[in-house]
Amino acid sequence: MEDSVSLERNDTIAEIVLNRPGKHNALTPQMVKQIGSVCDEINNDPQIHVVIIRGAGERAFCAGSDIGALNDYEDFWAWRNRIDYITPLRNLRKPSIAAIKGWALGGGFEIALACDLRVASKTAVFAAPEVTLGWVGAGGAAQHLTRLLGYGQAMRLLLTGDRIGAEEAFRLGLMEWLVEPGEEVKQARAIAHTIASHSTVATQAVKAAVKSAMNGSLELGFQLENELMALYFAKAEQDKESVLFKGRKADSSPNQA
């Protein structure tokens, strides 16, 4: 169904599909609500280990918010208290991968930046054009771009609103994989299968540790990593299935309890 956000499942991998191809998957308020709902469903489903986000159709990942739909907000206060689509994506506990083709503009760019990993087709085009409309992006572009690219390149993209192609975006470090047109979803699925083959406790702990490193001090980061490993060790003893537990049993003498 068009003008919707769907959740597709393939074993332990979920795919969030932005489905409005006739409008380059530009987001309506209804689609924004659906993003929040599917993210809640993913976080609460232990069978889902990894998430892929992609756009329907052949022309775009997501062209951002539907500008015409902004008129649906009664006033600035209603907009301020809107349901935000970036926050649920950023708060996914499971590793997330953006499979990007065509336009990733404005809010669509911010969706890609909110993911943990990005795979882009050579057709991809990125931009934060809000400044050209007299706006500022409200979905974290300034925060994510500064951390990914550094101050100067973030300022270049945000102050000019210029579009950049996939080759330049890859060179700058905006994505982790650059693939031939039409291969982005296939590659994202291959990466997702690799990640999903690992312990969910480990992959979610890695995500939590790296996010802590981006936002906190070095000393607190060390402490968090130690605590996360301690939690894994506790789980290893509980389920008796992990490498740690099996290794300890193999090293134990017959006289040990």
Catalytic sites, residue numbers = 110, 130
Give the Cα separation of 41 and 14 in Å (integer). Answer: 10
Percent of the chain that is helix, strand, coil (3-state, to 5): 50, 20, 30
Residue 135's contacts (CB-CB under 8 Å, 6 or more residues apart) are none
Give the Cα separation of 90 and 187 in Å (integer). Answer: 22
Give the Cα separation of 238 and 148 in Å (integer). Answer: 38
Q: Which strands make up the sheet holding 13-19, listed edge to edge?
A: 4-10, 13-19, 50-55, 96-100, 117-121, 177-179
C-beta atoms surrounding 101 within 10 Å: 26
CB 184 within 8 A of CB 55: no
